Structure 1
Amino acid sequence: MKSSQLVAIIKRLEAMQEGADDEVQSRRFEKDGVEKGEVTFDPKTETYTLEEVVSHQQFEFDDIDLAAMEIYDLLDDSED
Structure 2
Amino acid sequence: MEPSQLIPIIRRLEAMREDQTGEMQVRRFERNGEEKCIVRYDSKSNMFELEERKHDQTYEFDNIDYVAVEILEIIQPAPTTTEK
SS at structure 2 position matched to 1:45: coil
Alignment of 1:8 onto 2:8: yes
Structure 1 residue aligned with 2:57: 57
Shift of 1:2: 3.5
Larger gyration radius, structure 1 or structure 2: 2
Separation of aligned partners in 2, 1:4 and 1:66: 15
State the superposition RMSD in angstroms.
1.3
Q: Which structure 2 segments of 5+ residues have no match?
A: 80-84
Inter-partner Cα distance in structure 1 for 2:77 and 2:69: 12
Aligned residues: 79
Which position in structure 2 is the counterpart of 1:33?
33
The CA deviation at 1:3 is 3.2
Aligned amino acid, residue 47 of structure 1: M
Q: CA deviation at 1:55?
A: 1.3
Pairwise CA distance, 1:38: 0.2
Q: Equivalents in 1 of 2:69, 2:31: separation in Å?
A: 15
> Once the two structures are superposed, what CA deviation does each residue of 1:20-42 show, in whole Å capped at 9, x if it has no partner?
22111000000011100000000
Q: Which runs of 5+ in 1 are unaligned?
A: none
